[in-house]
Amino acid sequence: MGVADIRSLVLIATAIFLIAPVFLLAYVLFYNSRKKKHIEEKAQMKQAFETELIKAQAEVQEQTLQTIGADLHDNIGQLLSLISLNLNSIELTEDIAKAQKKIEASASLTLESIKELRLLGKLLHGDQLVINGLAASIEQLVLWISKADRFKVEYHVHGEAEEKNTAKDLIIFRIVQETVNNIVKHADASEIVIELTFLTDMVAVKISDNGVGFDVNSITANNKGMGLHNIYKRAMMAGGRAEIRSVPGSGSYVNIFVPYQ
């Protein structure tokens, strides 16, 4: 090997030793930048989830108050009116047996009113419903839908949660609540089926109806379906996904899949 070759090798080795730290420094800076960006993204996602959680909580409370107001007017108000009517119709001079029947009817209606008020008392907790678990909170929702006698409602639960996740329960419950409200208001349906399935590390909810259906793509493309947008968004915020399928004239169904650990 000649002197020129040795010089070339020395120069190459020297260049490598000089360049290697530069590359190493560049890699460290790039890694730290990516790590910092990842931490910032995680913090943003956490903040977004917490914001969505507060929003869902407020909406559950608002829907709860609407339900209570409607029930006070339509149900308990009618019961109290019947009690008042019965008691005001009693005359001291009338037959005792006839008066007794009216009093007994009023007592029965009073007990029914107390029962309804107790149910409303539970509902007043609003988002506190989910403390009893997702299955129980949806069952309470089904109970209130069924009371209207407008829909045949089926509710099936498969499996059970190993541990409660109150934050995700609230998000999932709000999705179910909003989906059911859309069915009640727009679907012109007579049947609603809700299926809740607890898998090993996931919760799946399917909500279907036999209503008029709609064109999902058209509504989504025209930005008309804020309710649909909220369903997609909230499922994603909880780390899951939503599927919405419908055919005009053939009902619709919503599938929600959320990791649950």
Cα gap 160→135, rounded to integer Å: 8
Question: 216, exposed or middle or buried, with CB in 10 Å at 0-12, 13-18, 19+?
Answer: middle
Domain definitions of the chain by residue range: 1-124, 133-261
Helix (H/G/I), strand (E/B), else coil: 74: helix
**How far is the first Cα of the chain from the last one, in angstroms, to the nearest whole number?**
67
Q: pLDDT tens string for the chain (261 positions)?
A: 565 666 666 667 676 666 767 677 777 777 777 777 767 666 666 666 667 666 666 666 666 666 666 666 566 776 777 777 777 777 766 677 777 887 888 888 788 777 777 766 665 554 456 677 889 889 888 887 887 678 899 999 999 888 888 888 888 988 998 898 889 888 899 999 999 999 988 999 999 999 998 888 877 666 566 678 888 888 888 889 999 999 888 899 999 999 987
| pTM score | 0.62
Identify the CA nearest to 173 among candidates 147, 148, 152, 142: 142
196 within 8 A of 158, measured Cβ to Cβ: yes
- 133-261, which class in CATH? alpha beta
* Exposure string for 185-213, b = 16+ CB within 10 A, e = fewer: eebebeebbbbbebeeeebbbbbbbbbeb
